[in-house]
Amino acid sequence: MSCCKKDVAAVMQQAFDLYKGNKDGANASYIPFLASVPSDLCGLAFVSVTGEVIKIQDVDYKYAIESISKIMTLGLALEQSGADAVHSKIGADPTGLPFNSVMALELHDDKPLTPLVNAGAMATVSLIEADDKEQRWQKILAFQSALAAADIELSEDVNQSEQTTNAHNRAMALLLESSNRIYSDPLEACDVYTRQCSTLFNTVELATVGATFANGGKNPVSGKQLVSPENAAHILAEMMMEGLYDTSGDWAYDVGLPGKSGVGGGLLTIIPNVGALAAFSPRLDQFGNSVRGQLMIKHVAQTMGWNLFNSKQH
């Protein structure tokens, strides 16, 4: 699988022009800050495993990373604790239920099943080795910055907006504690999880995160090896299974690439050994995925022939 920068840029521009005017979907309304983001913003960026960058439109706009943060904290946990420990304590199987489902915990109280739903993500946060909550948070923030090759910052506005509306997550954290499946103070883990979702990224920074995982865990911008190739592969597997919430199967069927969405409007797709494509548009479908982002990335991936399941007759 390969790409030519000129070809990718042309196809990206074509995808942007086709779908930039799409008015389907709406901003997330249950978090006040997200509801206030201008809904017509739209950007598309590609970062290759050699560090080449392609940018279209609103790629410098900073938005809340939200659930895409889960793959970054998962990377840190894998590096600190090892894949076997994370797998045994968190799991790696789709729940078949919404990302904030309490029912999934009740049905599978032995472990959260996956680090890419809220319960599993909070349990993953609790695994991060630290002396206290603040040190745990600083380690997560520093790792986000390293992956993005940029100084990532917490938005106090987003964090405050989320901390006042996260009663459901706090309840799930306590439920995890009741089954001994969270590994620090549960409410502290929920607090740090909420903070990690409240950091601000632009679309190039998001694509840089993806390019790091596409490049065997080595950041193509900074040159730093941040996760092992083996752990990068584990992260991509999780993204393929659960990265787009309830529509992850549809994404694998149509696009055939690991992806991760966030209700802030970000959408990241990784092409192993090639690079990463990131989109931003805050209009979401009913499952919490960017409408324009899905359309644009699907067009680029299909046109470029990037589906990992494509095969040739011999």
- The binding site comprises 67, 118, 162, 169, 193, 245, 263
Taking residue 165's Cβ as centre, other Cβ atoms within 10 Å add up to: 14
Which residues on neighbouring strands pair with residue 284, listed in sequence order? 26, 290
Taking residue 151's Cβ as centre, other Cβ atoms within 10 Å add up to: 9
Angle at CA 16, nearest 5°, toward 10 and 21? 150
The answer to whether 66 and 197 have CB atoms below 8 angstroms apart is yes
Rounded CA-CA distance 269/304 in Å is 13
Residues in the annotated binding site for substrate: 67, 118, 162, 169, 193, 245, 263
Tokens at 156, concatenated: 């106090």
Q: How far is CA 100 from CA 56, 112, 116, in A?
A: 33, 11, 10
Show the DSSP H helices in the chain as ranges.
5-19, 32-35, 69-81, 83-90, 103-107, 118-127, 133-148, 156-163, 167-178, 186-196, 203-214, 229-242, 248-254, 291-304
Angle at CA 247, nearest 5°, toward 242 and 249? 70
Break the chain down into helix, strand, coil percent, rounded to 5: 50, 10, 40
Per the listing, tokens 């809340």 go with: 64
